[in-house]
């Protein structure tokens, strides 16, 4: 890429664990690339696979869903449903031809600021290598 490609990554972070984990990464001044935009959702179970598909369509290059570890969910079953939905959604998106590395689901608890920053760096790294996502993307 001549001009340095800056990926546009959307992260759905669950309010009780991952969003607080992101804050923890902030308070301990961890650094991760500015390519990540975080959308706060009450629970990873709130993320509708259609939102993820909409993100790709509107121009996101990678989507990351961060939720509580199974068993820790504040609403006690939200992340289990999220896991089932995205077990199917990832396979279906790959079946449609969208690169499966562009969607990732991670369990990050409120205390894991370090893990949050690491996952963000890793994901931004993978997506920059993959380049912009032109599949199922809207024409200008």
Partner 1 sequence: MKKIGVFVCWCGLNISSTVDVEKASEELKNYPGVFYADDYKYLCSDPGQELIKKTIVDNKLEGIVVAACSPNMHESTFRAAAEAAGLNPYRVEITNIREQASWVHSNKEDATAKAIQLIKSTVEKVKKSEDLFPQQIPLTKKVLVIGGGISGMTVALEVAEAGYPVILVEKEPQIGGNMAKLSETFPTLDCASCILTPKTAEVGRHSNITLMTNSEVIESTGYFGNFTVKVKRKPTFVDWKKCIGCMLCQEKCPKKTNSDFEHGMGKRKAISVAFPQAIPYRPIISEKECIYFKTGKCKICVKVCPVDCIEFEQEEKIIEENIGAIVVASGYDLLPKEELGEYGQGKYADVIDGMQFERIASASGPTEGVIKRPSDGKIPKSIVFIQCAGSRDNQKGRPYCSKICCMYTAKHAMLYKHQVHDGEATIFYMDIRAGGKGYEEFVQRAIEDDHVLYLRGRVARVYEEDGRLVVLGVDTLSGEQVRIEADLVVLATAVIPSIGAKALGQTLKVGTDTYGFFNEAHPKLKPVESMTKGVFLAGCAQAPRDIPETVSQATGAAAKVITMFSKNHLVSDPQVAKVNEKICVGCLLCKPICPYKAIEPEIVEVRVGCRAEKRQVATINKGLCQGCGACSVACRSGAMNLSGFSNEQILEELKSLCL
Partner 2 sequence: MMNMTEKMLEQIRDLFEKKNIKLFIGFEKGFEKFSRIPAFAENYDEAKSMIIDEFETPLLAKYLIRELGEVGAGAVEKSERVGILTRGCDYLSIRRLVVDNIILRENLVIIGIPCNGLIDPKKANKLLGEEAQEITVDEKIVLAKGEIKSREINKEEILLDRCKKCIMSKVEESDILLEENMDDMEVSKDYSAVEEIEKLTTEERYEFWRRQFDRCIRCFACRDACTACNCRKCIFDITEPEMLEKTVATSEQFMFHFIRAFHVAGRCTACGECEKVCPVDIPLGLLNGKFKKDIELLFDVDEAGIPAEIEPLGEFKLDDPVEW
Interacting positions 70-129 with partner 2 (CB under 8 A): 70, 77, 80-81, 83-85, 87-100, 104-107
Q: Determine the Cα angle at 122 with ends 118 and 126, to 5°.
A: 170
Residue 88 touches which of partner 1, partner 2, none (Cβ within 5-8 Å per kind): partner 2
Residue in 43, 119, 38 with CA at minimum distance from that of residue 81 = 43
Check binding of 45 to partner 1 (CB under 8 A).
Answer: yes
- Using CB under 8 A as the criterion, what x/- string covers residues 103-132 for binding partner 1? ------xxx-----x---------------
Residue in 53, 57, 65 with CA at minimum distance from that of residue 134 = 57
- C-alpha distance across the termini of the chain, in Å: 20
In Å, how far are 20, 44, 61, 132 from 114, measured between CA atoms?
12, 20, 24, 27
Residue 45 touches which of partner 1, partner 2, none (Cβ within 5-8 Å per kind): partner 1
The sign of the CA dihedral 117, 120, 123, 128 is negative
Grouping H, G, I as helix, E, B as strand and the rest as coil, residue 66 is: strand
Residues that bind partner 1 (CB under 8 A): 8, 10, 16, 19-20, 22-23, 25-27, 29-34, 37-43, 45-49, 51, 54-55, 58-60, 68, 71-78, 81-82, 85, 109-111, 117
Which positions lie near partner 2, rule CB under 8 A?
49-50, 53-54, 57, 70, 77, 80-81, 83-85, 87-100, 104-107, 135-139
């Amino acid at each position: 890429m001549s001009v340095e490609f800056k990926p546009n990554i959307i992260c759905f972070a669950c309010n009780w664990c991952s969003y607080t984990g992101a804050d923890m990464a902030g308070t301990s001044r961890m650094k991760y690339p500015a390519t990540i935009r975080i959308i706060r959702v009450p629970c990873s179970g709130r993320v509708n696979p259609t939102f993820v598909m909409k993100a790709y369509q509107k121009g996101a290059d990678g989507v990351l869903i961060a939720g509580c570890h199974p068993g820790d969910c504040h609403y006690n079953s939200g992340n289990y449903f999220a896991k089932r939905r995205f077990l199917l959604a990832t396979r279906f998106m790959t079946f449609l031809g969208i690169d499966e590395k562009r969607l990732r689901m991670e369990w990050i608890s409120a205390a894991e600021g370090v893990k949050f920053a690491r996952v963000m760096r890793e994901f931004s790294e993978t997506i920059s290598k993959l380049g912009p996502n032109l599949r199922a993307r809207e024409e200008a």
